[in-house]
Amino acid sequence: MSYNVHPEKGLINRGNWHRIKECMNRAENGEKITVGFLGGSITQGCLSSIPETCYSYLVYEWWKKKFPQAEIAYINAGIGGTTSQFGVARVEDHLLKYNPDFILIEFAVNDDNTEFFMETYESLVRKTFSHVNNPAVMLMNNVRYDDGENAEDMHLQVAKTYELPMVSMKNTIWPEVREGRIENREITPDDLHPNDAGHALVAQVITTFLDKVYEELETEEAPSDFYGKMLPGPITASAYENSVRYQNHNSSPEISGFEPDTEPQNDIREIFRNGWTAWKKGDSISFEINCSGVAVQYRKSVKQPTPIARVVVDDNEKTAVILDGNFEEDWGDCLYIDTIARHMESGNHKVEITIIEAHEDDVVPFYLVSVIGSN
């Protein structure tokens, strides 16, 4: 079934096309090109019938078909249930280390439409755009199909600041659903994740923009004023650009009762790896990290009961946060992230996590996935 979603209306910020044209020109010349995708569950391909029907793969196929003379590599770094706060902490290890030439970023339905996520999103964009190989960066906003909500207002301000092209499903697919011209269940079973038909529509909005760039490939476009130079000043504090995930393979915390998980991680979506587990009340783990902000990633489990922990920074009770490993939802275990402290004075800070409640019938241990220090 075909739908008329006016994909040309998806471009909500033109941005500067110099880097994308550079990338296309290299592909046109037969060079090897790597295209990468960073985002949440929609980027990962959740609810597509097979990985090859998700929008990311369909956009990758556009590159292959448009440039058959080039070798096009594909990296899908989508992880379900994650935000740009986690994205900026993992983008180096999961994507940038492969030096992708084209990067599409998607966090509009995982981020809330708040200034906090404008800051984490800006930090991610700055880190990605300033990578050493000058990748072409494109931004994309998915949308909820029950209420049309996403983080577009905040994300769009970032796109405009860095002159990056941004396309939106809120301008294209959502109006058709809202007006009843597309039945929501034809394209999504849960009003969030597209099915194969929904993924095809998302890909169409993106590739319509890429087709337009390709049509104008011979029209020379000057680079942004900051191309190859210092980025413009941030519009937020942008205190997450240098986020580091501290796990058991790259840190040496003081441990009392916590045990490192040495099970190998074979895929980035094996999210409960490289952390620490604890069962008993009083078990503790303490980090000394250089940062201005602290977040903690841990498992919220549907297998209950599980121990409950508490985190405090610099022994300051005002920073104390309860980390409850019991998940109230039923769709599966959740990689949860709690922001503990923001915009502190940059320097060494102590982060201590202690089990404060355990039960004789605990089914699984408390699982600490990582401590994230941001600067």
pLDDT of res. 331: 87
pLDDT of res. 1: 64
3-13 pLDDT, tens digit each:
889 999 999 99
DSSP assignment letter at 143: -
All residue ranges of the chain with pLDDT < 70 are 1
263-291 pLDDT, tens digit each:
999 999 999 999 999 999 999 999 999 99
Interatomic CA distance for residues 125 and 221, integer angstroms: 21
- Which domains can be identified in the chain, with CATH numbers? 7-215 (3.40.50.1110), 244-374 (2.60.120.260)
**Percent helix, strand and coil across the chain, each to the nearest 5:** 25, 30, 45
pTM score over 0.85: yes
Instruction: Look at residues 116, 132, 117, 121 and name the one whose alpha carbon lies nearest to residue 38.
Output: 121
104-130 pLDDT, tens digit each:
999 999 999 999 999 999 999 999 999
Residue type, 181: R
Interatomic CA distance for residues 117 and 92, integer angstroms: 19
Interatomic CA distance for residues 27 and 81, integer angstroms: 33
Interatomic CA distance for residues 299 and 187, integer angstroms: 31
Sheet harboring 284-291: ordered strands across? 254-256, 284-291, 347-357, 308-313, 316-324
